[in-house]
Amino acid sequence: MKPVCKSNGFVEQFTLGEGDLRFAVKDTLDVAGYRTRAGCPALAAVPVAERHAGVVATLLEARCLLVGKTTLHELAFGVTGINPRCGTPVNPRYPSLIPGGSSSGSAAVVASGEVDFALGTDTGGSVRMPAACCGIIGMKPGFGVLSRHGVMPEESSLDCVGVFTRDAAVLRDVMTRLAIPVGEPLDALPPMACVLAAEPEIDACVLEFLAQAGCSPQETTLALLEEAHRAGLTLISHENWRASGPLLATSLVSADVALRIRAGADITPAALRQAEQTRIAFTAGVDALLDKTPLLAMATLPELPPTLQEAKEPLSVVNLTRLVRPFNLSGHPALTLPVGEVDGRPVALQLIARKGHDGLLVQAAEWLLSRRRH
């Protein structure tokens, strides 16, 4: 009998390891002795994993306590976190809103306080988006910084293991245990540039938060942002077709997810070449901007998170990833943190740093959140 997601986001619970930090992992990461089902009935009977995913093993060796696996948007291919086949976790702080995808369960169990942190994966915003929807911190390290050994899909040019926490102090602790260096707390925030690319009321909320923290970021533009979003969609579609296409023969993949996976078969070589050219050009533009100012700020989501009812048509919400997906394409580290609300829905700030400067994002989150007005 396959596990079913509890309303809190867990799909299986157990106890592995010992230590002072409790964590959960998205069910796309292997845990020895358990099946990795990725929220999909087509994988209900896969063999149990023989060994832990690399990042899971590292945390267990660093004396963290693994308490369970969390559900997700089926096959990690969706932005709402809605999974009618295996259960949709309730967004603890905003129950009428989507939990965000694809790492919905990991965000939910952190937001609810059931664990200190959780692991998710981020291929097109799948850590930062649910973190923004649930009002918590979500960090996507730079591409390749954390091991993807034992993580689904096996091959990806976009996917990163990421971390959810409720506060920056725990994020610092987790990053340190994962051997990502984080410097001493900042006395002052380094120069920051800000891109205003969201709905006006969201951008205004972000700017108000930064102003209250004593920041006066320089407004700037980022060329090819929309093109990078589309290129990321092209690449994830192609790569998910290669990884999950064979599962469609089982007829056990939900219709909406199957439709999007099948669309990857139609990606042409010319489209892939164009996407890779956009990757090179956009990455160079981000690098050049971050050479001038060490931090780039923008809203995490361009629109307010929708309600579960509003999100019934999954394709209608793909635009929600247009400010996060580009940094999967470029491979830069990025972090989201909550900054306020508009009309009772959460607003989040995204910070991006130079490659190899993942620790600066943790320091910046500490500095900014310590100045947040409650």
pLDDT in tens, 52-75: 999 999 999 999 999 999 999 999
Amino acid 1: pLDDT: 42
* Strand 345-353 versus strand 295-299 pairing type: antiparallel
> Could you count the other beta carbons within 10 Å of the beta carbon of residue 155?
9
100 φ/ψ sector (left φ>0, alpha ψ -120 to 50, else beta): left
Round to whole Å and give the CA distance between 113 and 120.
16
Which tokens hold the place of 7? 């309303």
**Strand, helix or coil at 256?**
helix
pLDDT of residue 350: 99
Residue 315, pLDDT score: 62
Residues forming the active site:
26, 102, 126
Start-to-end CA span in the chain (Å)? 45
DSSP assignment letter at 90: -
Q: State both tokens at 100.
A: 């965000």
Cα Rg of the chain (Å, integer): 19
* Block residue for tokens 């059931």: 114
d(CA 365, CA 137): 9
Task: Domain 12-369: give its CATH superfamily.
Answer: Amidase signature (AS) domain (3.90.1300.10)
Q: Residues 74, 42: contact at Cβ < 8 Å? A: no
| Residue in 159, 31, 166, 4 with CA at minimum distance from that of residue 89 | 4
User: Quick one: pLDDT at residue 374?
Assistant: 61
- Cα 48 to chain center, whole Å? 25
Q: Which of 356, 334, 321 is nearest to 162 (CA)?
A: 334
Residues ≥6 apart with Cβ < 8 Å to 125: 79, 320, 321, 324, 325, 328
* Beta carbons of 161 and 29 less than 8 angstroms apart: yes
d(CA 291, CA 88): 41
Q: Which helix (H) or strand (E) holds 227?
A: helix 225-244
Q: Give 151's DSSP letter.
A: B
pLDDT at 76: 97
The residues of the chain scoring below 50 in pLDDT are 1
- Compute the distance between CA of residue 363 and CA of residue 183 in angstroms, rounded to an integer: 7
Nearest Cα to 92, choosing from 74, 114, 116?
Answer: 114
Of 138, 51, 147, nearest in space to 102 by CA: 138
Give the integer Cα–Cα distance in Å for 277 and 340.
37
Q: Rounded CA gap, 75 and 41, in Å?
A: 10
Q: Please tell me the total number of residues recorded for the chain in this structure.
A: 374
